[in-house]
Homo-oligomer: A and B are copies of this chain.
Amino acid sequence: MEKGKYIQQKDLSTEQKIKDAAAIVFQKKGFAATRTRDIAEEAGLNLALINYYYRSKKNLFDIIMEEKLSTFFRTFIPFILSEGKTPEEKIKRISKDYISLLLENPDLPLFVLNAIHTNPEHFTKIVYGAEQIQHSPLVAQLKKLNPKAKFEQFFLNIMALCVFPFIMKPAISHLSDILSKDFENLMKERIEMIPKWMDAMIKVK
């Protein structure tokens, strides 16, 4: 009988195995629905080891949440702040790199946004980075392109176009017989289209 599904983890430390397993289960079921026994089973380890290495379920969750918040938000911000080039090129990079990241972590958005919903304080640590955005070169470039455009709406739009499909993923996958492409191909098509769509939207008065 195989318990943990990831055989290549044999050589990882027990501590790491627990974190990896916890990340999988927490993302699939959320904090409340996850039992420490689920994590132990996913890791193929004894239940007590979770408390031995991480003290409590909540502490383990917070550690994972901190990492996922970084992946989700802190990866996004450098894209915005990156120097040089035109807005068009920046948008192209954002959509390509961000969607690629999400294709590797499809459960990430729902997990993070759900955690912020039930515990907004989680988000406090992120605000710092967000403040930089409004003074970024990109915002200035956009203002020049279209003085009427609001940067808040711009960021909502590019995040919405990139992220929302991943939150809808279970529904989209369920519609595979209706749709012309599967989820991954839909998203790869979006990598090409989102920059064009964003360019068109920015010019709207």
Contact = CB atoms under 8 A, between A and B. Distances in A.
Interface string A148-181: 0010110011011101110111111111001111
A153 B186 contact: yes
Residue of A33, A174, A189 ringed by the most chain B CB atoms within 10 A: A174
A197 interface: yes
A179 B152 contact: yes
A101 interface: no
B204 A170 contact: no
A58 interface: no
A123 interface: yes
A14 to B, nearest CB: 27
Contacts of A163: 160, 164
B123 A174 contact: yes
Interface residues of A, number: 55
Contacts of A8: none
A117 B173 CA distance: 11
Given A160-B161, A168-B159, A200-B200, A193 B153 contact: yes
B178 A131 contact: yes
Given A152-B186, A200-B201, A116 B193 contact: no
Interface stretch (A24-32, A46-54, A85-93): A24-32
Interface of A: 28-33, 107, 110, 113-114, 116-118, 120, 123-124, 126-127, 130-131, 134, 150, 152-153, 156-157, 159-161, 163-165, 167-175, 178-181, 186, 189-190, 193, 196-197, 200-201, 203-204
Given A153-B190, A153-B193, 12 more contacts: A110-B113, A113-B170, A120-B170, A123-B170, A130-B178, A131-B178, A150-B189, A153-B189, A156-B186, A160-B163, A200-B200, A200-B204
